[in-house]
Structure 1
Amino acid sequence: MMSILFYIFFMIPLCFLTNYIWLNQFVYFLLFVLFMLNFSYVDYFSSLSYFMGCDYISYFMILLSIWICSLMLLASEKLNKENFFFKFFLLVLLFMLLSLVLTFSSMNLFIFYLFFEVSLIPTLMLILGWGYQPERIQAGLYMFFYTLLGSLPMMVSIFYFYYKFNCLDFFFLNECVDSFLLYLCTSFVFLVKIPMFFVHLWLPKAHVEAPVSGSMILAGIMLKLGGYGFLRLMSVFMIIGLKVNYTLVMISLFGGFVISLVCLRQTDIKSLVAYSSVSHMGLVLGGIMTMNSWGFYGAFVMMIAHGLCSSGLFCLANITYERLGSRSLFLNKGLINLMPSMSLWWFLLCSSNMAAPPSFNLLGEIMLINSLVSWGLMTIFMLMLTSFFGAAYSLYLYSYSQHGKLYTGTYSFSLGFIREYLLLFLHWVPLNLLFVKSDMFVF
């Protein structure tokens, strides 16, 4: 792991070179390939050092982090053209990647908590520094205080863990703790991060005000930190989980259904995709809370699939916004007449968002539905409604933006740049190729 960290550290001088964006891009992709080849499929943990290491979960999460960060750079060409503090932007991006790699590779609960919180800072800098409207300050504060409120009780629970286990390594946290207060203190920060219905209000605000790179990292990685934390710590809360998890499952499924209805009322493309993230992650949370193996694997698969799919939809929203200067569905109509080749990508990513085959989302949803129905038969009604309305808002997004009467405003008749098609290709292809190798994700 130290080799990967040194690699990221030595990328810092690259941020200060002028007109070397493609060299930066190449170095990010090279890091992805090197890390992918670095993993041992035989051992449980590989790349071990003093407090860092990779098992299957953290390995795929780090791969996803590197991939999304490299695509963030590819999506932010406009900042480079306008020379809008682009060198500082590259530095923030690198700091973001470093904090995420350290979060996912830490084998110690306190180190995990530390970098979990550190990753908030570069996200906040992206929203405040490169956001679109003055409301970005309010959105940043929402995100900051929601996370802060949830994370302080967790610090107290970490002290208790050390008192009880005399160690904070994940490997030694192997005894069940039967305390509702401790469970609430530890879980609340993850529930805010996922985000669960009722504590989700920061997410649509942050997405709408964030630049495209901020939205990509929020949807692609930040929401997964909560799920990753639950996957790591759920073994400690097996006993108390059996008593109280049914409440969280019900809230998640009900929230997924309500948010699906909210999506159908959105007029802002970015806002619609942001709310759809809440709906999908509600399903993930429900799967984790059933505490069976189907739920565990299904949540893991869905987190990776959603990271790629949602990030791609934000890229599409940005491509349209850069040309039209608006994200309103009332103005973004009839795009199939102006950019027919881009409409194909709209269709492919919207269909992946509604879990159509052969997307990786389908595998995740099948596993999560299996998990939830086996946990309680009554969940089938909420799952039916969530799945149906999930398909409904994906079709609504596609049909409203691509069909309809053309808006007669000024519009660039460019059919898109190669960079944009490459960006969408690199979102969609892994999302659908992973389905072929789905046996990797059922250990």
Structure 2
Amino acid sequence: MMKYILLMFFMTPCLFMSMSWYMYQIMMLLVMILMMMSFNSSFFCNLSYFLGIDSLSYGLIILTFFIGFLMINSSNKIQLSSSNNFFLVVNLMLIFCLFMIFSVLNIFMMYLFFEFSLIPLMILILGWGYQPERLISGLYLFFYTLFASLPLLLIIMNFYLIFSTLFFDLIYYLNLNFLLYFCMIFAFLVKLPMFMLHFWLPKAHVQAPVSGSMILAGLLLKIGGYGIIRFSFMNEFSFFFFGYTWFSACVVGSVLVSLICLFQGDVKCLIAYSSVSHMGMCLMGLLTMTKCGMIGSFLMMIGHGLCSSALFCLANMMYERLSSRSFFINKGLISFMPNLCLMMFILCSFNMSCPPSINFISEVFIMISCISYWSHSIYYLLFISFLSACFSFYLFSFSYHGQYFMVYSYMINSVREYLLLALHIIPIFMLVFLIDLIFY
């Protein structure tokens, strides 16, 4: 595992070369391919120093490097600016933090990089955001995460005093104290985010540049799910005993957030709120504490990371051409950008979990686990799925249909943009054929 860290460390001088923009993308793909070739076990493998990967962290690390490559591919306007080298350094710091979160075996090291990932993300939002409101949205993100993660530090100190170790697989906690359980899970609920703790997410998404939105939707929300899975193995009794509290909030919250999506006027706001709804379903699967629920939630994290990232790319393509993200101005885009209409339709279909996407498989698994956990949840789940289809259809029909506000105009997209969207769509579809590897 140290070879990946050293590779990323020695990439830093390359970021100040004349061809650094393309060098960074090639190196991200190279690290991703090396990682794909090195995995050889469903249990912890590639153990070195305090690092190791298993089947859970493996998928998220591959997604980290892949989204890291696509982030730079989508930010062509920054490439022409004078700050492009600094932008690459900030992105590399963020990718390194995420890699360390998903690969460390020590709880304190995970907490350290969990907190440190805020700094490059704040720099991305404040440095390359759009409106002056990015200052307040950055503060929302910073203080929400900081306030929620301080109790987690106390729990980690408590673990060390009791067990004299902080390795994930050496801790098994049997305490049924709700306060301890709340402190343990609260930081991850905010990061996920759960309904009622989600107010920072739309603000951060709307003000972030396209690369910030992609990494936020694609990976930083997944840290919450990853942390809950890791801690649920350490304290199973508390998760069994108190899980219904968050399950109830997620069931109601996913319905309410889906309704909120239907009267949004901003494209990025709608995609951000749809992330809250999908992550609510993901949390419901995790809280059932079943194998089916965990696999479904893991697959939803992968599928949503790719699908939501691609939708933010499309929203940015609209914004670059029309200088607006409003549904009331971005109407009739089938006349303006007809060649992206199919891409938008496919992504909206995948966002509502239509087959043959990995999102569909994940939603089926989550529904099975939730119905086995509480039989009456089927009514809520059907309503959530229906509203998910409604807001995805609303996103597509309101932006691409209707009367265009110009008399005549036509825009041809670049090959880079087609490549960017195709690289999001193909894995969502192709992962369906690798589903048997999850059960291996």
The residue type paired with residue 291 of structure 1 is: M
> Does structure 1 conserve the Cα–Cα contact (< 8 Å) formed by 2:168 and 2:234?
no
C-alpha distance after superposition, 1:315-350 (max 9, x if no partner): 000011100000001011111112111111100110
**Number of the residue aligned with 1:428:** 425
Range with bigger deviation, 337-346 or 169-178:
169-178
Q: How many Å separate the matches in 1 of 2:279 and 2:82?
A: 33
Would the alpha carbon gap of residues 316 and 90 (structure 1) be closer, same or farther in structure 2, given more than 3 Å must change?
A: same
SS in 1 for 2:382: helix
2:15/2:23 contact within 8 Å kept: no
Paired amino acid for 1:437: L
Aligned to 2:36: 36
2:316 equivalent to 1:318: yes
Counterpart of 2:24? 24
Q: 1:247: how far off?
A: 1.4
SS at match of 1:322: helix
* Structure 2 counterpart of 1:166: 164
1:285-304, aligned counterparts within 5 Å? 285-304=283-302
Aligned to 2:234: 236
Task: Flag as ranges the 4+ runs of structure 1 deviating above 3 A.
Answer: none
Pairwise CA distance, 1:310: 0.3
* SS of equivalent residue, structure 2 residue 46: coil
Is the 1:187–1:230 contact (alpha carbons within 8 Å) kept by the matching residues of 2?
A: yes
Of the candidates 171, 181, 188, which is equivalent to residue 190 of structure 1?
A: 188
Match of 1:141 among 127, 139, 149: 139
**Paired residue for 2:263?**
265
Residues 410/273 of structure 1: CA separation in 2 closer, same or farther (3 Å cut):
farther
User: How far apart, CA to CA, are the structure 1 residues paired with 2:405 and 2:153?
Assistant: 52
Paired amino acid for 1:71: L
Aligned-partner Cα distance in 2 for 1:176–1:424? 47
Match of 2:69 in 1: 70
Which ranges in structure 2 are unaligned for 5 or more consecutive residues?
Answer: none
* Counterpart secondary structure, 1:33: helix
CA distance in 1, matches of 2:29, 2:241: 45
TM-score of the superposed pair, with normalisation by structure 2: 0.98
Contact 1:324 1:410 in 2 (8 A): no
What is the SS of the residue equivalent to 2:274? helix
SS of the equivalent of 1:48 reads: strand
The letter of the residue matching 1:323 is R
1:15 aligns with 2:7: no
SS of the equivalent of 1:60 reads helix
Q: State the 1:177 CA deviation.
A: 2.8
Match of 1:48 in 2: 47
Letter in 1 for 2:411: S
Q: Note the C-alpha offset of 1:84.
A: 4.4
TM-score w.r.t. the length of structure 1 is: 0.97
CA distance in 1, matches of 2:234, 2:169: 11
1:10-409 superposed matches below 5 A: 10-41=10-41, 44-81=43-80, 83-408=81-406
- The letter for the 2-side match of 1:240 is S
In structure 2, how many angstroms separate the alpha carbons of the residues matched to 1:241 and 1:102? 26
Kept in 2: contact 1:92–1:126 (CA 8 A): yes
Q: Which amino acid aligns with 2:223?
A: L
Does residue 442 (structure 1) correspond to residue 416 (structure 2)? The answer is no
Query: Structure 1: which amino acid aligns with 2:60?
Result: M
Bigger shift: residues 401-410 or 86-95: 401-410
SS of 1:436's equivalent in the other structure is: helix
How far apart in 1 are the matches of 2:96 and 2:387?
38
Q: Identify which range, 316-325 or 30-39, moves more after superposition.
A: 30-39
**CA distance in structure 1 between the aligned counterparts of 2:127 and 2:408, rounded to whole angstroms:** 28
Partners of 1:342 and 1:294 in 2: how far apart?
36
The CA distance in 2 between the partners of 1:183 and 1:120, in whole Å, is: 24
The letter for the 1-side match of 2:51 is M
* 1:236 shift after superposition: 2.5
* 3-state SS of paired residue (1:434): helix
* Residues in 2 aligned to 1:158 and 1:194: alpha-carbon distance in whole angstroms: 20
Report the Cα offset of residue 243 of structure 1: 2.4
The residue type equivalent to 2:8 in the other structure is: I
- Contact kept, 8 Å, 1:301 with 1:441, in 2: the verdict is no
SS in 2 for 1:208: helix
Task: Provide, for residues 376-434 of structure 1, a one-character-per-residue CA deviation record: whole Å limited to 9, x for no partner.
Answer: 111111111110000000000000111000012896x3320000000000001001100
Root-mean-square deviation (Å)? 1.2
Q: Is the 8 A contact 1:177 1:236 kept in 2?
A: no
Measured after TM superposition, the shift of residue 18 of structure 1 is 2.6
CA distance in 2, matches of 1:442, 1:373: 21
SS at match of 2:47: coil
Deviates more, 1:46-55 or 1:219-228: 46-55
Which amino acid in 1 is paired with 2:167?
Answer: D
Structure 1, unpaired ranges of 5+ = none
Secondary structure in 1 matching 2:432: coil
* 8 A Cα contact 1:342 1:415, kept in partner: no
Residue-pair matches, total: 440
Deviation string 1:254-299 (CA, Å, 9 cap, x unpaired) is 1100000000000100000000000000001111111111111111
